[in-house]
Structure 1
Amino acid sequence: MRALIAAATGLAVAFALVLTITAMGSPAGKTSPKPLLTTVPAHP
């Protein structure tokens, strides 16, 4: 019974942590205007 209570408590804490992080929202900022290179440029 103690293990079940511990598991439920851990699950509740994890759920509360996820909700807290979600409520804070994404960090402010912007993405880079430069595209990511997917291939290595040719060397001269």
Structure 2
Amino acid sequence: RIIEGYDGLGIVSTIDPGQGLVVVWVTPDTQDEVTHILHFFPRALNY
């Protein structure tokens, strides 16, 4: 719910709930801000 708390930054969709895989769809205008937020996420992320 991290990205969902930032209204309008991106859309989160679940790819595989069993593995906890999600995708965050962003626009070119919000990509830098979302990348910055995810950089400080407490778990390792692939993006």
Provide the TM-score with structure 1 as the length reference.
Answer: 0.28
> Larger % of strand: which?
2
Relative contact order higher in (CA < 8 Å, ≥ 6 apart): 2
